[in-house]
Amino acid sequence: MSTQPAPTIHIPVLPTEVMDALCIDAQGIYVDGTVGGGGHADLIASQLNGDGLLIGLDHDLLALARCESRLNGKPVMLAHSNFCELPELLQQIDVGPINGILLDLGLSSDQLEDADRGFSFNSNGPLDLRFDTASGEPAWRLIQRLRPEHLADIIYDLGEERFSRRIARKLCERSKRDPLKSAAEIASVICSCYPHSNQKRIHPATRTFQALRIAVNEELKSLEIALRRLPDLLAPGGAFAIISFHSLEDRRVKHAFREDERLEVITKRPIVASAEEIESNPRSRSAKLRVAKRI
């Protein structure tokens, strides 16, 4: 039986805006630090000639496997790595400086559909939430291990969830009686913590799942390290483009770009999706693209 992963169903957000920001030079060297389904990577690689190179990184081995077939024959090198480790990778392969770096910090549709990792609220699979399942601790185990007050702090700080204490207390109480593991079970417990009169535009478990995912993948730590380290890798005039999907990331990107003497901010305000894109790809609704260039 074939072990080839299913083709990607992910649609890249802000594709035109990303390509405009990167100003592709056919002979340039570019990095997609979150290659995912390969949508942005395919667009970039298609504009490179034999002297150009796209380096695609991802923590998710399944994503890399999908990209391998999608990008076959194009000037692309894929690596299983966190984008904050890019300096070490470039040193190993003796490549640089870089003409442009892209980080798309959102979840992919492929990950949401992966029942084994629990990114979807309806998944009967375990609430894992790790991008790299070979390292770190799954989210369901984190819930079982932490004290209610510590879990509440994570949910509040990383999910900005105002019912964090109620949710944490109920998750911990339920775990003691009957250990919770599946995403659907955990989402159900979270939903029970919301007042019936509280009509929310988003699913009640959204912020808690976000917080747990950020915690198990150390996403904000990786972003902060990247914001400090990656500008040094850019050639003069090289673009640094970052797409974020929630305020915790966007604030860090905005302040880092403004305060970094190595960078010139190109987007005074973030670029957002058009009404047409949102209609065809609702996931793009919360996307914010910020761009800076190396001085």
Q: For position 9, what pLDDT does the model report?
A: 67
* One domain for residues 99 and 245: yes
| Count of residues making up the chain | 295
Residue 207 lies in a domain: yes
Neighbours of 235 (CB within 10 A): 16
Predicted structure pTM score = 0.92
Residue 53 to residue 248: CA distance in whole angstroms: 32
Q: What is the pLDDT of residues 77-133, one digit of tens each?
A: 999 999 999 999 999 999 979 999 999 998 766 676 666 778 888 888 899 999 888
Tokens 């399944």 — which residue? 62
Q: Look up the CATH number of the domain holding residue 208.
A: 1.10.150.170
Last residue of a domain, one of 219, 248, 278: 219
Q: What is the pLDDT of residues 202-250, one digit of tens each?
A: 889 999 999 999 999 999 999 999 999 999 999 999 999 999 999 999 9
Q: For position 200, what pLDDT does the model report?
A: 61
Mean pLDDT of the chain: 91
The answer for residues whose C-beta is within 8 angstroms of residue 92's C-beta and 6 or more apart is none
Q: For position 11, what pLDDT does the model report?
A: 85
pLDDT over threshold 70, residue 183 = yes
* One domain for residues 87 and 30: yes
> Do the bridges between strand 234-244 and strand 288-294 make them parallel or antiparallel, or are there none, so unpaired?
antiparallel
Residue 246 lies in a domain: yes
Residue 222 to residue 269: CA distance in whole angstroms: 23
Q: 163 near 151, Cβ under 8 Å? A: no
Residue 61 lies in a domain: yes
The answer for residues whose C-beta is within 8 angstroms of residue 176's C-beta and 6 or more apart is none
* One domain for residues 137 and 160: yes
Q: What is the pLDDT of residues 150-169, one digit of tens each?
A: 999 999 999 999 999 999 99
**Structural domains counted in the chain:** 2
Q: For position 2, what pLDDT does the model report?
A: 39
* One domain for residues 121 and 212: yes
Q: For position 103, what pLDDT does the model report?
A: 97
147: containing domain = 114-219
Q: For position 50, what pLDDT does the model report?
A: 87
What does the block give as tokens for 37?
A: 């389904």
Residue 58 to residue 142: CA distance in whole angstroms: 23
pLDDT over threshold 90, residue 27 = yes
Q: What is the pLDDT of residues 46-89, one digit of tens each?
A: 999 989 999 999 998 888 988 888 898 999 999 999 999 999 99
Q: Look up the CATH number of the domain holding residue 257.
A: 3.40.50.150
Residue 3 lies in a domain: no
pLDDT over threshold 50, residue 284 = yes
pLDDT over threshold 50, residue 1 = no
* One domain for residues 199 and 233: no
